[in-house]
Chain A
Amino acid sequence: MSRPELQAPPEIYYGDIEAKKYTNNSRIQQIQADMTYRALELLNLPSDQSAFLLDVGCGSGLSGEILDEQGHVWVGVDVAPSMLEVALDREVEGDLFLQDIGQGFGFRPGSFDGAISVSVIQWLLNAETSHPTSSPPHRLTRFFTTLHAALRNPSRAVLQFYPTSDDQIQLITSIAQKAGFGGGVVVDYPNSNKARKVFLCLFVGGGGSTQQIPKGLEAEEDVGQVHARFEASRQRQRKRDKNGKRKSIKDKDWILRKKELYRRRGKEDVPRDSKYTGRKRKTVF
Chain B
Amino acid sequence: MVRLITHNLLACHAKGCTSNNFPLQFKDVQVELREAEFNPDFLRGFIPRLEWGALVDAARQLGDTSLPAEPPEMLDVEFLQKLHHVLLEVHVEEGAMICPNCNHVYPISNGIPNMLLAEHEIG
* Residue from A73, A88, A106, A142 in contact with B115 in the complex, judged by beta carbons closer than 8 Å: A106
Among residues of A, the one whose C-beta sits closest to the C-beta of B36 is: A93
- Within 8 Å CB of B111, what residues of A? 88, 96
B-side interface residues, number (CB < 8 Å):
33
Q: Is B32 interfacial (CB-CB < 8 Å)?
A: no
* Residue from B10, B51, B114, B122 in contact with A106 in the complex, judged by beta carbons closer than 8 Å: B10
- Within 8 Å CB of B9, what residues of A? 107-108, 111
Instruction: Knowing A73-B5, A84-B112, A96-B1 are in contact, say whether A106-B119 is a contact too (CB < 8 A).
Output: no
Q: With both chains docked as a complex, state the minimum distance between the C-beta of A86 and any C-beta of chain B, in angstroms.
A: 12
Please report which residues of chain A, range 73-101, place their CB below 8 angstroms from some CB of chain B when the two chains form the complex: 73, 75, 77, 79, 81, 84-85, 88, 93-100
Q: With both chains docked as a complex, state the minimum distance between the C-beta of A53 and any C-beta of chain B, in angstroms.
A: 12
Q: Is B28 interfacial (CB-CB < 8 Å)?
A: no
Instruction: Knowing A106-B12, A106-B13, A107-B10 are in contact, say whether A99-B115 is a contact too (CB < 8 A).
Output: yes
Alpha-carbon gap, A108 to B13, bound state (A): 10
Q: Is A37 interfacial (CB-CB < 8 Å)?
A: no
Q: Is A214 interfacial (CB-CB < 8 Å)?
A: no
Q: With both chains docked as a complex, state the minimum distance between the C-beta of A134 and any C-beta of chain B, in angstroms.
A: 8
Please report which residues of chain B, range 72-123, place their CB below 8 angstroms from some CB of chain A when the two chains form the complex: 88, 110-117, 119, 122-123
- Within 8 Å CB of A95, what residues of B? 1-3, 5-6
Alpha-carbon gap, A79 to B114, bound state (A): 9
- Within 8 Å CB of B36, what residues of A? 93
Q: With both chains docked as a complex, state the minimum distance between the C-beta of A279 and any C-beta of chain B, in angstroms.
A: 53
Q: State whether B113 touches A97 (Cβ < 8 A).
A: yes
Q: Is B45 interfacial (CB-CB < 8 Å)?
A: yes
Interface-centre pick from B5, B12, B13, B21 (highest chain A CB count, 10 A):
B13
Q: Is A205 interfacial (CB-CB < 8 Å)?
A: no
Q: Is A50 interfacial (CB-CB < 8 Å)?
A: yes
Q: State whether A97 touches B115 (Cβ < 8 A).
A: yes
Q: State whether A108 touches B11 (Cβ < 8 A).
A: yes
* Residue from B21, B45, B112 in contact with A96 in the complex, judged by beta carbons closer than 8 Å: B112
- Within 8 Å CB of B11, what residues of A? 106-108
Q: With both chains docked as a complex, state the minimum distance between the C-beta of A237 and any C-beta of chain B, in angstroms.
A: 43
* Residue from A49, A75, A79, A81 in contact with B6 in the complex, judged by beta carbons closer than 8 Å: A75
- Within 8 Å CB of A98, what residues of B? 112-116
- Within 8 Å CB of B110, what residues of A? 85, 88
Residues of A whose CB lies within 8 Å of any CB of B are: 49-50, 52, 71, 73, 75, 77, 79, 81, 84-85, 88, 93-100, 103-108, 110-111, 129, 131, 133-134, 142, 146
A-B residue pairs in contact (CB < 8 Å), sample of 14 = A50-B42, A52-B42, A88-B1, A88-B111, A95-B3, A96-B1, A97-B115, A99-B115, A103-B122, A105-B13, A108-B11, A111-B9, A133-B122, A146-B13
Beyond the given pairs A93-B36, A94-B1, A98-B114, 5 more chain A to chain B contacts, judged by CB atoms under 8 angstroms and listed by A's residue number, are A98-B116, A103-B116, A106-B10, A129-B119, A133-B122
